[in-house]
Amino acid sequence: MAAGTEGDTIAPELRRRVRALLAAYDPATIPLREFLRARFDAGLAWVHFPEGLGGLGVPRALQAAVDAELAAAKAPDNDPRRIGIGLGMAAPTILRFGTEEQQQRFLRPLWTGEEVWCQLFSEPGAGSDLAGLRTRAVRDGDTWVVDGQKVWTSSAHTARWAILIARTDPDVPKHRGITYFVCDMTAPGVEVRPLRQATGEAEFNEVFLTGVRIPDAHRLGEVGDGWRVAQATLMNERVAIGGTALPREGGMIEKAAATWRSRPELRTPELHGRLLALWVEAEVTRLTAERARQQLAAGAPGPEGSGLKLAFARLNQRISGFELELLGEDGLRYGDWTMVRPELVDFYGRDAGYRYLRAKGNSIEGGTSEILRNIVAERVLGLPAEPRTDKDVAWKDLPR
């Protein structure tokens, strides 16, 4: 099935494939994982991926038709919120930079949800300045020995694999001495510790790497080219965070609007005007995200995703603050302060206080809002770059 074939020609063939899948694997009786594996093997997981890797090599925009057919048949999905890091960040990076062996090994269990992924990028001293990272990887024959610390790692406590960047050459400028790896989270020397947040939960983690051995076969891209590989991951991450498909009045604005409709005694003209402004902004952001997904269907994501993620963070924080203010005294109540280790964030099944506190993290995770403003300014708007005095200085000579 050629990638350049027109959608109206391909769509009937896709429907035929979906119906053949459903006939052979009845979702009402077949075990979940068996159905998902069969869907992957039929090329209906990511239709834009190559054949044999969960796809058919057809335009990405056709995925929506496949998903709709399967949803109508009440077929199970792969719980994308639980495995979002694998789907949104690891998979496109492995497809673009991985070897054939890596693609065959990792993509299928990643998509079916049998193996959860996490991201080992940020460090205590290298968050916004990610290229300044200190975690070292030293080659020892056919393996690399990794030592260092990572932080703000979602899903590390449930992950089987991690995408990891480490410094492999301290004698060159910081952006050039980084290499990208796939790290086994069950390997000796990997220690995961919870980070308790303002919400009371420990959804994030810090990860300590002590003498962790990674085979060279688990390196993605060339040695020293990890910054370029990481940029591809980060561009996909920002689209994944800010570009989630939502219905009209979906997401955070849905909760605020529901509170407004159900609690007429809370309404004032001033709050009404603010809600209307937030509703319009949420709708504009939703439509912008839809346009970004359409652009993504035509190729790899660019820096525009940074603007989308920036808008998402700002809007979530403003809406959650409005909802708390609208509720008055009720907004000061907080439901459950139990220390738990959730697999994923539950914005919408919790109370307004949780949403208000958790939304504060939106301007940090996936790239701080300050850094994203720089990316938008320089790479989207073409404004002059900020002066950088460390671009040509060897990493080992940088002040600490």
Q: Is 367 helix (H, G, I), strand (E, B) or coil?
A: coil
Asked which of 36, 52, 77 is the last residue of a domain, the reply is 77
Domain that holds residue 371: 230-380
The pLDDT, as a whole number, for residue 294 is 66
* The two structure tokens encoding residue 376: 């938008």
Is 237 one of the annotated active-site residues of the chain?
yes
In a domain, 219, yes or no: no
SS3 382: coil
* Residue 269 maps to a domain: yes
Using left for φ > 0, alpha for ψ between -120 and 50, and beta otherwise, residue 79 falls in left
CA-based nearest residue to 17, from 43, 37, 46, 35: 43
Asked if residue 347 is part of any domain, the answer here is: yes
Q: Please give the chain's pLDDT, 400 residues, in tens.
A: 444 444 566 788 999 999 999 999 999 999 999 999 999 999 999 999 999 999 999 988 899 899 999 999 999 999 998 999 999 999 999 999 999 999 999 999 999 999 999 999 999 988 778 999 999 999 999 999 999 999 999 999 999 999 999 999 999 999 999 999 999 999 999 999 999 888 888 888 999 999 999 999 999 999 999 999 999 898 776 666 555 667 888 889 999 999 999 999 999 999 999 999 999 999 998 888 877 766 665 555 666 677 888 888 999 999 999 999 999 888 888 776 677 777 767 777 788 888 999 898 888 877 788 888 888 888 888 899 888 888 889 999 988 7
Alpha helices by DSSP H, 53-133? 63-72, 84-85, 91-97, 100-112
Domain endpoint, select from 77, 108, 139 = 77
Count CB atoms within 10 A of the CB of residue 88.
22
Count of the separate structural domains present in the chain? 2
Name the catalytic one among 69, 201, 206, 237. 237
State the maximum Cα–Cα separation within the chain, in Å, rounded to a whole number: 71
Q: Do the domain assignments include residue 87?
A: no
Question: Is residue 253 included in any domain, yes or no?
Answer: yes
Q: Does 100 fall in a domain?
A: no
User: The CATH number of the domain where 288 resides is what?
Assistant: 1.20.140.10
Q: Tokens in use for 229?
A: 């590989």
126: nearest Cα among 308, 302, 390, 358: 390
32, part of any domain: yes
Strands, E assignment, the chain: 117-120, 136-140, 143-150, 161-167, 178-184, 190-195, 204-215, 219-220
**What pLDDT score was predicted for residue 3?**
42
AA letter at 376: V
Res 5: pLDDT? 44
Answer whether residue 389 is part of any domain. Answer: no
pLDDT on residue 245: 67
